[in-house]
Amino acid sequence: MKRKIKLTASILIVLITVALLFAGDYFYSQAVQRGTDVVLHSESASTNALASEDDQLHLQNAKDWFNLQHPEIVNFETDEGIEVKAQFIAQEIPKNKAVILAHGFRNTGEDMGKFAKFYYDQGFDILLPDARGHGDSGGDYIGFGWHDRLDYLNWIDFLTTYGNQQIILHGNSMGAATVLMTSGEELPNEVKGIIADSSYSSVKEELAHQLKHIYNLPAFPLLNVTSIITNLRVGYTFGEASVVDQVQKNTLPLFIIHGDADDLVPTIMAEQIYEAAGGEKEMWIVPDAGHTKSYDNKTIEFEQHVQKFLDHVLAN
């Protein structure tokens, strides 16, 4: 009888282990593997239909301007042999300042093009990278900003070599997490400030939120298994990829933006980041804005807030 119980228990353990491995592999394909089309959330149309006619026209003009540009393609190769590419729009007459615009999950640099005119009109060179595993860049996985933070050190080096003496990092969603993770690294004096719109507090917490939000599943043990698979395949764990840990080491001015109707990245994550961050910091919680929709909803006001931040950090 005891042998039968032990055998049954052993079979159950094997079956549960196999099931978890299959589930972990599936979640890896949804969250980390390149090229999978994933619907993360579906916000109410009314949440993001708040823009005035002036805002809509302003935003459309910005998009039209970007579509008429002919960016130079620049690239470098990471230590792992991954070719990472970016679009680069330089001023006709150099003003010696630049912005890096960091895109979100399963987007590309093109998606940040709507911000380009605002910065270009103020004399900034514009760099729009495609993150690893996105767009024209190489890599078969998504780093959620963790490995990308090291790529941004290379992009910053490119801009300083080009002659830029003032550099701003500006990111949306995963791009916001990327620039905030970068803030915890040793950065040159040319980097003057960081703007982060709709960042998650850590990859682990964000994926736990998505498991609950999309699949109505608890984080344990599936997220732990997926993290192990991710570490074995691409070399990082969800736990180490933490914005909160990185911003504690930050010494640069931060401007944190988040919509209060964001159901993809809960607004409380912005508050956690703000509380943890070192250095000078400010936060703007935008009423009724969904995920990364603050600029779309309040285009002119958004630019006014960013302009005020830039005037301050570039004057010092």
Q: Determine, yes or no, domain membership for 38.
A: no
Please check whether residues 156 and 264 belong to one and the same domain: yes
d(CA 93, CA 35): 39
Beta-carbon contacts of 265 under 8 Å, excluding residues fewer than 6 positions away, are 173, 198, 199, 200, 206, 209, 258, 291
Which among 49, 85, 89 has a CA at the least distance from the CA of 65? 89
Please check whether residues 270 and 176 belong to one and the same domain: yes
Q: Determine how β-strand 72-77 pairs with β-strand 281-286.
A: unpaired
Please check whether residues 253 and 114 belong to one and the same domain: yes
- What was the pLDDT predicted at 41? 55
- What was the pLDDT predicted at 26? 85
Q: Determine, yes or no, domain membership for 209.
A: no
Work out the angle at residue 220's Cα, subtended by the Cα atoms of residues 214 and 224, and round it to the nearest 5 degrees.
Answer: 100
Percent helix, strand, coil in the chain, to 5, is: 45, 15, 35
Q: Which domain holds residue 228?
A: 1-31+216-239
Q: Determine, yes or no, domain membership for 232.
A: yes
User: How many CA atoms, within 13 angstroms, populate the side-chain half-sphere of residue 47?
Assistant: 18
What tens-digit pLDDT sequence spans the chain (316 residues)?
Answer: 666 665 555 555 555 555 566 667 888 888 889 876 655 555 554 445 678 999 999 999 999 999 999 999 999 999 999 999 999 999 999 999 999 999 999 999 999 999 999 999 999 999 999 999 999 999 999 999 999 999 999 999 999 999 999 999 999 999 999 999 999 999 999 999 999 999 999 999 999 999 888 888 888 898 999 999 999 999 999 999 999 999 999 999 999 999 999 999 999 999 999 999 999 999 999 999 999 999 999 999 999 999 999 999 999 6
- What was the pLDDT predicted at 220? 85
Please check whether residues 19 and 75 belong to one and the same domain: no
Please check whether residues 107 and 194 belong to one and the same domain: yes
- Classify residue 242 by its DSSP letter: B
Please check whether residues 220 and 98 belong to one and the same domain: no
Length of the chain: 316
Residue 212, both tokens: 């609950």
Provide the number of structural domains found in the chain: 2
Please check whether residues 21 and 139 belong to one and the same domain: no
Residue 108, both tokens: 């590309």
Please check whether residues 145 and 256 belong to one and the same domain: yes
Q: Determine, yes or no, domain membership for 189.
A: yes
- What was the pLDDT predicted at 47? 46
- What was the pLDDT predicted at 308? 98
Q: Determine, yes or no, domain membership for 39.
A: no
CB 283 within 8 A of CB 258: yes
Q: Determine, yes or no, domain membership for 48.
A: no
d(CA 198, CA 71): 27
Please check whether residues 234 and 282 belong to one and the same domain: no
CB 298 within 8 A of CB 201: no
Please check whether residues 135 and 223 belong to one and the same domain: no
Please check whether residues 109 and 140 belong to one and the same domain: yes
- What was the pLDDT predicted at 36? 65
Q: What is the CATH number of the domain that holds 86?
A: 3.40.50.1820
Element (H, E) at 169: strand 166-172
Residue 14: phi and psi, rounded to 5, are: -65, -45
- What was the pLDDT predicted at 214? 81
Residue-wise pLDDT tens digits, 19-60: 566 667 888 888 889 876 655 555 554 445 678 999 999 999
0.85 exceeded by the pTM? Answer: yes
Please check whether residues 192 and 153 belong to one and the same domain: yes
CB 260 within 8 A of CB 59: no
Q: Determine, yes or no, domain membership for 207.
A: no
